[in-house]
Structure 1
């Protein structure tokens, strides 16, 4: 019998943004947190803007007009109940709206205010726009990626946006949640940026630049494609095999599989002058068989040789370990399942999972799941405190309805000493463009 996921009960208010912020939110939601995304509403329309955010697994959404006083008041009310807020914007955006940490912490001293930027907030590039490639570039990490004699090669936006950005923010939020338990329930601001995150990930290769493991220039070292027995090779059918036979015993198993045992390569493998010759030999041999044939040679061996699998294969062949699972297994309190129908095995997570099995993004239309989320967060119910179809709050009709709305001199019940931000006059005079479905 497993227990609830580790972040069950943690409420996260995530402002819709580009991929790194939503990724941090998805890591939290996969761990069981209640993540409510705040989407923008179109001015003068009841129809929310569409979103391209595919990192919305296990999340809910509300669409809010942040230009209206009631919209801002509504978000502040949510922030009072939140454990975590994720700010994905450039510095100063939420502060200009009156949603900065110095404001929100007055009503919720336990709020963990997570914010992330591309460049450092105090660095020379702080006022510039950028993308993953730019953050990698100024971190130094990009200079190490690429083949000998070629320009630096940017990978997919895995390193800066996701590993160095979203995942680092997730880590910081977890640390802040732990710290809150130790310091009397007080939250704090968590700042992450993709430059420092990328540089941190590159700690080992950066250290290697000062020793023989990595001091030969880009694309000429043991672990960057320079070494012929740490590389990929094309097979007869146009597919690829990955080789990582660095240690002596693994290299011996590798050349045995290639039919090269006993030819002296065990002793010559560290001779960089012969690496070119060795690479040509490996290239020729791998092209003599299909990838499937090479799998039959190396499966079950210690040669450190594996097929380069494509996601289209993994999606249709779960036996190849293509079933997408939580990144870590908590045996007693598993995270939520990624794929539908996986409930029951802690390694696969708990709960019903989602359609697509981790291969298809889960688009979240603004407003999806908002009804359930507002009942969980605020105790609001459809038809009393808000109307789904019209996307509005109800104006109180009598004194009996005031407690249901939490109005009448302020909501109260906030976590801080400053009381509530939302009062009746705001609701009566400014109806928020709030859409929930």
Structure 2
């Protein structure tokens, strides 16, 4: 971890499930020393199927490169352990409901008073204030309230649940962004601060353009209504994504398809639009997907195959963004650090930690003695 862009940054991770662990893993990928504090039972993602070897693929995909300590922070001694750890940290990220950690003396006011340079980031469903601050939720709820589900429907009008957790993953990105912005501000001011990230705001951030275009719903041009920006089925059941938004790409596509007469219909409306889409649909349905890919690739027309997940790893462009990460004695095909640096590249992939693997190491570095650790274990504070 010593050579990354965030080498030397110390992060205390009090999150679980998806968004928080994703955020702190990105920091770990770039060299930060991330200490993941887990309850005695561990992060619930450790139990999620499917498994790779004896470990959860989800946990491995979200927690590589971290150190794990097990502390029961519901106890007074456990809260004191976390407080001691926070004194030596640059960043703390937590995902409890508002007020939970404050009742244990671990809220932002208490910890910022004890460590004024700390960047304390809270990641919650609905933020630190407002009518929903104490409300429970999961990704599907935030996607629903943010308009994402209502704007993505199947041909029968039913909302389509996305394969990935859109609010969770976006909130993870925004958490990492917020943390780094607060660290930059600390360079100027010398002080840390409280950063507030909500999953609902993350879902709404994804809907910035549709909300800006029309208060009554998304505009037509990027929803598949126009022939230049939609998905067409092929003879073998595969599909092609056509993204020929600019006139030059649309005109090239029409020429490549032998349909130059359609060049003026890129933004057609009414019956002309329906007829143009129908003509292209019939044409694409006449050949297999990969035949079309081979034929259109040299034409530079913004057309790509719609890949199933098991095809992604074999695609020459997508495969370069993946990596094999160690999971016990097995290997997990996962996404490599997505941002690349010329001088401070991300480190090679590290495995996710075993539950409590680094408890003694981390607490020893924070000043706890062997006798302290033995006492805390006897009392059930450490596992």
Band the TM-score falls in, shorter-chain normalisation: 0.7 to 0.9
Counterpart of 2:291? Answer: 293
Q: Secondary structure at the match of 1:299?
A: helix
Instruction: Give, in whole Å, the separation in 1 of the partners of 2:141 and 2:300.
Output: 39
Could you say what the CA RMSD is over the residues aligned between the two structures, in angstroms?
Answer: 2.7
Q: Is the 8 A contact 1:233 1:286 kept in 2?
A: yes
Scaled by the length of structure 2, the TM-score of the pair is 0.84
Spell out the pairing of 1:107-186 with structure 2 (5 A cutoff): 107-146=114-153, 150-163=157-170, 165-184=171-190, 186=191
Moved over 6 A (4+): none
| Greater share of residues in helix | 2
* Deviation per residue, 1:311-352 (Å, 9 max, x gap): 31222x263431323222221112x2xxxxxxxxxxxxxx33
* Deviation per residue, 1:170-215 (Å, 9 max, x gap): 111111101111112x1110001122222233222222227xxxx7
Q: Secondary structure at the match of 1:121?
A: coil
Instruction: Give, in whole Å, the separation in 2 of the partners of 1:280 and 1:372.
Output: 65
In structure 2, the gaps of 5 or more residues are 49-58, 323-335
| Greater share of residues in strand | 2
Q: Is the 8 A contact 2:26 2:337 kept in 1?
A: no
In structure 1, the gaps of 5 or more residues are 337-350, 355-361, 396-426
Instruction: Give, in whole Å, the separation in 2 of the partners of 1:48 and 1:230.
Output: 41
Q: Is the 8 A contact 2:65 2:352 kept in 1?
A: no
Instruction: Give, in whole Å, the separation in 2 of the partners of 1:131 and 1:270.
Output: 38
Instruction: Give, in whole Å, the separation in 2 of the partners of 1:370 and 1:319.
Output: 42
Q: In the TM superposition, what is the alpha-carbon distance from 1:72 to its structure 2 partner?
A: 2.0
Instruction: Give, in whole Å, the separation in 2 of the partners of 1:136 and 1:95.
Output: 28
* Deviation per residue, 1:239-283 (Å, 9 max, x gap): 22110012111011212232212xx21123322122222222222
Q: In the TM superposition, what is the alpha-carbon distance from 1:238 to its structure 2 partner?
A: 1.7
- Judge which range, 272-281 or 119-128, deviates more: 119-128
Counterpart of 2:342? Answer: 331
Q: Is the 8 A contact 2:226 2:268 kept in 1?
A: no
Counterpart of 2:382? Answer: 434
Counterpart of 1:187? Answer: 192
How many pairs were matched up? Answer: 355
Instruction: Give, in whole Å, the separation in 2 of the partners of 1:370 and 1:322.
Output: 36
Q: Secondary structure at the match of 1:150?
A: coil
* Deviation per residue, 1:351-379 (Å, 9 max, x gap): 3324xxxxxxx65431134455456x437
Instruction: Give, in whole Å, the separation in 2 of the partners of 1:288 and 1:386.
Output: 73
Counterpart of 2:267? Answer: 270
* Deviation per residue, 1:28-63 (Å, 9 max, x gap): 111211111111115xxxx99855434101111011
Q: Secondary structure at the match of 2:92?
A: strand
Instruction: Give, in whole Å, the separation in 2 of the partners of 1:386 and 1:228.
Output: 69
Change (3 A) 1:89 1:306: same
Q: Secondary structure at the match of 1:306?
A: strand
Q: Is the 8 A contact 2:118 2:192 kept in 1?
A: yes
Counterpart of 1:400? Answer: none
Q: Is the 8 A contact 2:17 2:43 kept in 1?
A: no
Report whether the alignment pairs 1:352 with 2:340: no
Q: Is the 8 A contact 2:38 2:68 kept in 1?
A: yes
